[in-house]
Structure 1
Amino acid sequence: MTHRRAVLVGGVAAALTSARITPVQASRFPERPLRLVVPYPPGGGTDAFGRRVATRLGQELGQPVVVENKTGAAGAVGMLEVLRARPDGYSMVFGGASTHAIYPLIFAKPQYDPVEDFMPVALAGANTVCFIARNGVATDLPGLLGEARRVHGRLRLGSPGAGTFVHLAGEYLLHAAGGVEMLHVPYRGNGPAMVDLLAGNIDAVADTIVSGLQHHQEGRVRMLAVASLRRSPLAPDVPTVAEVLGLPHFETSLWSLLAVRRDTPAALIATLHAATRKALEATDFQAELRAAGIEPAPAMSPEEVGAYVRAEQAKWRPIVKATGVRME
């Protein structure tokens, strides 16, 4: 734990020594609206997912769950917002792969520890990641990788920025395929990268399936493979990476979770977990999520989600190290 974060957490804990949650208070929880901090701007895929979950969770809890977008510092602003809040269950963060697995690996001096400072409430689901190529460069994923080998890394792989999840997803594919090299071209967001792909200025991108689906269906680009273990119902014609490369365990997805401060009373976490799982397991809600390109998460306890986060960090650590991405 960094000195800055130790001071922050220690000071907050001391201030709350006399504000313990009693059993009676826990039994009445929640008595007022809750908030779900989304550490990304409004309008994006994670924000839309978080708002869907917030609406359903509010229905289960009998209190509104209000979404607040707190952006900046690769998600750290939103994470710290919840870390500074009272550990009373009323403040949650809608984090995920970027804030919980990637952030502590790419920052030299992380401002929070997603494992030590936060306790998962529930894994919510995951946006399917896919690999897309411009027309003319390849008709399938083996063809793209073969062409990349042939031209010795001169094919251009676009991303929304160095160290972003989909950038690393692309690097993970190249690593799993035996160390294939492509030239990384970072952009300021997914939109500009897709515009240049459509214009033929780059050769491929990694993205979420929803971002590229319409362009694929219109024949403007070619979606080569999805990184899930099963084909997506949104694009059943697109094979999985596992199918076309013979990598049965290859899977990567932009997963999301709800989390609270680690020192939140267990009884409150249990209440939030039960309500979240009930919301996520509703048949109509699962259909709604899949229609948006999101695969609902399997039932996992908060402790199991914590183990999943640690496993994801271990999975991405060598990929991040190989890219050399490091931020101050």
Structure 2
Amino acid sequence: MDQSFLVILNRGVLVMNYTIGLSTSNNLYTFDYTNCFEKPLGLILSNEEEMFQSYFLTYLKMFQSYRFSSLDSHSIFYTVDFNDALSYIIKEKLGFEVVIQDEEVEDVHRVIKQLLSEGHPVMVPGNLHELNYSEHYQTNDWKHLFLINGYNEVKQAYSVIDSNHKKNITTLRYEEFTFSFPLIEQLYLSAKEKLNVSSIWSIYRLEDKDYPKDRDLLLDILEWFIDRRYKGTYKELEYIERINKQIIDGIIEEELDITKQIDFIFLRAVKYKDTFYTEFLKLLDNNLVDTESVQKLHQLKKDLINKWTDIANKALIRHYLKETVTLDVEIQQVLKQEAEILRIICLIRDEVQTIK
């Protein structure tokens, strides 16, 4: 990352400004594929090394897509409650240093400036209810994470990189905004008081530390996928069970929070699985694993996502009609596809083990 200081004299007072110099890139996924807590972390990782973002998303979406025997599934989900999962991937798997600090609003600026002056980007939570360019402005509370790239003491302002969650546009872009110090205070205080979110984040690499090799990371992902998956149900089938229980019990949930509504979380689960396979295949291609098994996985992945999407849409239509879901044939077909993918990934694991 391009780090630079600017020291200026302002009415006899020495003032220091600082920028991390993060390079923004295409924002490849909309909000329902990667959320606003995942995006800035991925952007920082990609600035260190392009493929770190893919490793991060592969681990995370694998955990979010499938049940794993050694993880508490409820902590690996959507909101900031999955801090432990994010920290585990970034620190234990990718080897980055992770700083997470809960601070009172009066200490926010001191902490941000200190981390920036040490060369570390800062991620600060905020409530989009207080942000005038947000669709949630003055309408409803919404958790968000802002990536702070630098500050200007004279202008009392931060350089903030933010992601665009708007749909139906071909290329999503990260944009750089100027937020005043008081605005950051307002966003942070509102998130702390209304959403119980107050963790300031920073991640960075130590210069003299040895980091895991690509082959080792890839093998670790393969081993996790093969050896630690639950033998029981899939998340998608759990949502079908939830729909049927509501219909049978005659109690249809009225959830106001869109991120907890059955149609959102069901379709999002399939999109998370799509993201996992997309990034995983990108890693295989980047590591020059071009075998018949990998080519087969490319083909199977598309069919798998189409099958799960079809099941989700049909199940949700039944939900809206208040009718129980009976998709036995479709479910048998997709589970057969899942089993075949697991078999292919076992072959890929054996092939990667031969790479020197």
Category of TM-score, reference length = shorter chain: under 0.3
| TM-score where L is the length of structure 2 | 0.22
Q: Which has the higher contact order (CA 8 A, sep 6+)?
A: 1
Question: Larger helix proportion, structure 1 or 2?
Answer: 2
Larger Rg: 2
